[in-house]
Chain A
Amino acid sequence: MLEALHQGLQLMATTTNILALFAGMLGGVIVGALPGLTGAMAVTLALPFTFYMSPITSLMLLLGIYKGSMYGGSISAILIRTPGTAAAACTALDGYPMAMRGEGGKALHMALYASCFADMVSNLALIFCTGLIASFALRFGPAEFFSLICFSLTIVAGLSGDSLLKGFISACFGLLLASVGMDLVFGTSRMTFNDINLMAGISFIPLLIGLFAVPEIIKAAAGQKQVTQYAGVKSGGVTWADFRRCFPSICRGSLIGVVMGAVPGIGGAPAAYLSYSEARRYSKRGANFGKGELEGIAAAEAGNNGVCGATLIPLLSLGVPGDIVTAVMLGAFMMHNITPGPLLFQDNLPLVYALYLGIMLSSLFLLIAGVLCLRGASAIIKAPKAVLFPAVCVICLFGAFSINNNAFDILILIGMGLVGCYMGRNRIAEAPFLVAFILGPLFEDNLRRSLLISHGNLSILWSTPICWFFIALTVFSLYITLRKEFFQRKKSMCDHAPSTLDSFNKKA
């Protein structure tokens, strides 16, 4: 084993590998920060270039891009409310209000530290708990998945803002929109009205950009946007006290990210929202979430980046890619005649160790690349709004088009922009809509697959201990949230009633 470790160190410790990792990380942060450009797209674009590289160099480059893009999404989410990635949409909930208050620098730094810490936890989980987590992830069938998604959907209650009812309606709208496209069981079309553009469903990235970025751009055009005084990125650092306060949420988020990342097919966005929701539930400042709370940013980013290392667990141990990026990375392995899975640990142990060393180094490089990019970000926030928002609009349009190379996605972006404006005007939270849209297909697919397996017998949904565990968590989570909501409403009614009566008496 020590010999293999030594060989792995020799394999990894070359200038080319370290440069590839750092370049990938820097490129990933920049790509992640650009609206519409996803980590998956960047990794796919880089794949042909890796053909001429050694296996470890190519994997370092792809890994750097993947991790960098995961973090990069938070920069544009915080500064201009334009999430570069789906997972970063959760960061925008608290990041943007902080930037509006002039604490953009603090928000960006907290996002970076939380991301680096969660990434490190995720890497350690990958190195030390691969076997354990992989065997747990293997026990997930459709029924277990369904119960996990049910639990994840309870996030909606915590993200509803002022009104639980409006949050529920927003989620219903998201679930409904996610059901557009082809039916997976029968292969028939659903609400596509024979339009070929809708056959594959509604694209997520144009929807995300439309919902978050377009209303901000329109506000800027309408002159409703206040000229905000952003603090300099360098000056607005995070204090030790801030970090210590957010530390429990970061740890919780990292663990949520690790567990959700290890289960194939979940991805970073649900992990970020679940981490955010749990942080809100346990935080003393839960009422400030959504209004610019540093802990909210820390939780969202920890959940999001905690997924990175963990998605490699099923890939390395079982040969099963957890998401699109790891699927592309599987392609990179195959290109170099390496087959991930249990045999990888027998046949290519030095390569595995080299990969582990590179992965550990990536957390440090993420910190360096993040700090370098934050210096560049200060230029963005100093730009006049008449220059910045039209530029964001144009980048968003290019980004939306490039997702599927389809102009229809631009129409979706505009349509969702209208919906976003309407939701903002009527104080309907966008987050439940987004969570439901992400989880909707998983929810429906796993429900229908479970029912197919059991020939319509509903008892399959509570047939295993994992199902019971998540059902119990769902019930508990709903009970706690509804109870909190009930008491808050009661308290606000008690506070408002005397003032209303007073004003009435004065007028009388």
Chain B
Amino acid sequence: MQNARNDLILGCVLSLVFTLVCFVLIPIGIDVPKSHDPGQLSPAAYPSWIAFAGLGASLLLAASAALRCIKLNALTPRANSTVKCTARLAGMGPGAAGFALLLAFYLSLDYVGMTLGCFLLYAAFATLCGERNWLRLVIVDCILSTALYFFFVRIASVPVPQGILESFL
């Protein structure tokens, strides 16, 4: 029952996304020339075909899930979904924190720099993953950051942004 309901929500969300692509993103985001040779497909043609195919499949997914929901509703009593939903939301917290850390790393990249940013990100992620051996954390963090710096910056000559450490490194 829960699976059917999830598929229904998924089908609706995907239909919405593909509708947005078909009717908003493609018309606005693709420059179509006014006239062209019959052999030259318009730049919008191919993405439109794909988006419409995706929309059709999403609607089909939503419809089949809705049918399954109706059938199963008639057979099984309604389960207490509030408890499950609360537990699911509680489990999402650390995951959201992980993404927030990654986003913070990206946004502060120019200022903090890649090497220092990765040093801080490692420490934060390791703590989030449950690392409580601080000495090991610091040692691994230092070795990893130094190794990455030497490999990418010194050997591979990748122009990594160094941020506030620019003058030191």
Interface size class of B (residues with CB under 8 A): 35 or more
In angstroms, Cα B26 to Cα A393, docked, is 34
Inside 8 A of B10's CB, which chain A residues have their CB? Answer: 426, 428
Chain A residues near B57 (CB-CB < 8 A): 165, 168-169, 172
Please determine whether A185 and B99 come into contact, CB atoms closer than 8 angstroms.
no
Chain B proximity of A47: nearest CB distance (Å): 13
- In the assembly, what is the distance between CA of A390 and CA of B125, in Å? 5
Q: A172-B54, A173-B54, A191-B29 are in contact. Are A455 and B106 (CB under 8 A)?
A: no
- Binary contact readout A423-453 vs B (1 if CB under 8 angstroms, 0 otherwise): 0001010000000000000001001100111
Q: Please report which residues of chain B, range 62-85, place their CB below 8 angstroms from some CB of chain A when the two chains form the complex.
A: 64, 75-77
The verdict on A165 contacting B106 (CB below 8 Å), with A188-B30, A456-B38 known, is no
With the chains together, A444 CA to B47 CA distance in Å? 10
Interface size bucket, A side?
Answer: 35 or more
Min CB distance A195 to B, Å, is 10
B30 touches A394 (CB 8 A): no
Bound Cα distance from A176 to B50, whole angstroms: 6
Q: Is the CB of A398 within 8 A of B152?
A: yes
Question: A190 to B48, alpha carbons, bound, how many Å?
Answer: 11
What chain B residues lie within 8 Å of A385 (beta carbons)?
Answer: 129
Contacts of A138-178 to chain B: CB distance below 8 A:
163, 165-166, 168-169, 172-173, 175-176
**Contact A414 B54, CB 8 Å, known A394-B144, A456-B38, A456-B39:** no
Contact of B41 among A394, A448, A457 (CB under 8 A): A448
On whether A169 and B54 interact (CB within 8 A), knowing A223-B130, A455-B39, the answer reads yes
Contact B97 A452 (CB under 8 A): no
Q: Chain A 233-244, CB within 8 Å of chain B: the 1/0 string?
A: 000000000000
- B50 and A175 contacting across the interface, CB-CB below 8 Å: yes
Q: Are A387 and B126 in contact (CB under 8 A)?
A: yes
Contact of B37 among A163, A165, A219, A456 (CB under 8 A): A456
Contact surface of B with A, Cβ cutoff 8 Å? 6-7, 10, 14, 18, 21, 25-26, 28-33, 36-41, 43-44, 46-47, 50-51, 53-54, 57-58, 60-61, 64, 75-77, 91-95, 97-99, 102-103, 105-106, 109-110, 114, 118, 121-122, 125-126, 128-131, 136, 140, 144-145, 148, 152, 155-156, 158-161
- Besides the known contacts A224-B95, A402-B152, 7 further A-B residue pairs in the complex with CB atoms under 8 A apart: A165-B64, A176-B47, A186-B40, A389-B125, A394-B121, A405-B159, A451-B41
